[in-house]
């Protein structure tokens, strides 16, 4: 994976960004490359401690073990009191404020990495609404051990390492969800305007849209069906989802369909025709064109080429930290 750092003014990986909001992406150069990375604040790169608001197209888990300052997530400002664990979902806006001595690890991955534990997508989005967790002693030790194991597996890349990484990540997510509710942020977010009806608040609509896509039938949704289900217009849904996530409802629905198609191709023996039907395509040929356009590979090639990665799967900045200034 390359191109994970987007600096201020460079927009969406070098493309102009809307409203000056940088969009940070995990770029995977091959269809079957590993959509996962782990490293320290130093080895991941400058975006890991960016002081300006930005979004991600991927999940980020931050394990803070040292430092002072604040982490701002969707307008909520949390003081660093290490050890902390933070969950940031795709589309959330965050940045670091007045931080010094920041230490710890970051775990970056896309929904595609959750192919063995698809239900974790919902758990991660629930955790992202809690966002910032304090770690009591036992949980702190357990988290440190899990993160260290993931880092070792990622760096070694031995046979079967992808399955081990997925299993360790699943354990981390499930155990984090068991932790007590977090403390209140330093400053709560500004309340919505009084004239905005509670059922149509932008944040609520965007969250409900995400919940629809996270349901078992999420891949079968259309923008129109989602808008009808939520009781809003298509234009309003598009506006609030784009504002909340940086992406359109159509883009997120396509992402959901691709994720489910990949899961079915990898973890079932369904035919390509059957997979197409499961993700809402009546015409298998059209599904194949759609899948190739979105992933760079045909469904058959994707299914045949999913063995363990034997080349260097790591980000260049993480693979060779000694070369960094």
User: How many distinct structural domains can be found in the chain?
Assistant: 2
C-alpha neighbours within 13 Å on the C-beta side of residue 154: 26
The CA-atom distances, in angstroms, between 280 and each of 21, 222, 258, 277, 284 are 33, 9, 11, 5, 10
Residue 112: per-residue pLDDT: 85
Predicted confidence at residue 189, as pLDDT, reads 53
pLDDT score, position 130? 83
pLDDT score for 266: 84
Output the pLDDT for position 102.
Answer: 95
For the full predicted model, state whether its pTM sits above 0.75: no
311 belongs to a structural domain: no
Q: What pLDDT does residue 311 have?
A: 42
In 3-state terms the chain splits into helix, strand, coil percentages (rounded to 5) of 45, 20, 35
Joined tokens for residue 303:
């299914």
pLDDT at position 194 is: 41
Q: What is the DSSP letter of 15?
A: B
Q: Report which of 190, 244, 250, 238 is spatially closest to residue 55, judged by C-alpha positions.
A: 244
Burial class (CB in 10 A: 0-12, 13-18, 19+), 260: buried
* Residue 115 belongs to domain spanning: 18-183
The reply to whether 129 and 154 lie within a common domain is yes
Q: What is the CA radius of gyration of the chain?
A: 20
Residues in the chain: 325
- Cα separation of 219 and 215, whole Å? 9
| Residue 120 and residue 239 in one domain | no
pLDDT for 14: 32
Q: Are 95 and 144 in the same domain?
A: yes
Q: Which residues of the chain have pLDDT under 70?
A: 1-33, 182-203, 306-325
pLDDT, tens digit (0-9, with 9 covering 90-100), for 105-119: 999 998 889 988 888
Find the CATH number of the domain harbouring 166: 2.60.120.280
Answer yes or no: do 240 and 158 share one domain. Answer: no
CATH number of the domain within which 256 lies: 1.10.10.60
29 contact partners, CB below 8 Å, separation of at least 6: 1, 2
- Domain membership of residue 74 (yes or no) is yes
Say if residue 156 is in the same domain as residue 214: no
Structure tokens at 233: 């217009």
Q: Are residues 281 and 217 in the same domain?
A: yes
């Amino acid at each position: 994976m390359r191109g994970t750092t987007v600096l201020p003014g460079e927009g969406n990986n070098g493309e102009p960004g809307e409203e000056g909001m940088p969009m940070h992406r995990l770029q995977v150069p091959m269809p079957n490359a590993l959509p996962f990375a782990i490293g320290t604040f130093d080895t991941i790169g400058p975006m890991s401690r960016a002081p300006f608001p930005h979004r991600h197209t991927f999940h980020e888990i931050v394990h803070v073990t040292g430092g002072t300052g604040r982490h701002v997530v969707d307008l909520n400002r949390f003081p660093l009191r290490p050890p902390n664990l933070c969950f940031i979902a795709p589309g959330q806006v965050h940045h670091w404020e007045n931080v010094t001595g920041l230490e710890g690890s970051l775990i970056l991955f896309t929904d595609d990495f959750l192919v063995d534990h698809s239900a974790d997508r919902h758990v991660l989005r629930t955790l992202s609404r809690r966002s910032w967790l304090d770690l009591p002693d036992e949980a702190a030790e357990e988290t440190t051990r899990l993160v260290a194991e993931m880092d070792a597996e990622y760096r070694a890349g031995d046979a079967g390492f992808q399955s081990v990484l997925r299993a360790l990540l699943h354990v981390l997510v499930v155990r984090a969800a068991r932790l007590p509710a977090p403390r209140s942020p330093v400053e709560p977010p500004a309340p919505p305007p009084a004239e905005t009806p509670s059922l149509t608040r932008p944040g609520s609509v965007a969250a409900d849209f995400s919940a629809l896509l996270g349901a078992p039938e999420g891949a079968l949704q259309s923008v129109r069906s989602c808008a009808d289900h939520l009781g809003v217009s298509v234009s309003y849904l598009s506006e609030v989802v784009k504002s909340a996530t940086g992406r359109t409802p159509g883009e997120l629905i396509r992402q959901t369909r691709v994720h489910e198609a990949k899961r079915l191709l990898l973890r079932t023996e369904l035919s390509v025709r059957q997979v197409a039907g499961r993700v809402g395509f009546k015409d298998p040929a059209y599904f194949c064109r759609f899948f190739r356009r979105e992933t760079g590979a045909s469904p058959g090639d994707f299914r045949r080429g999913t063995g363990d990665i034997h080349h260097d799967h790591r980000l260049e900045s993480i693979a060779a930290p000694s070369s960094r200034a």
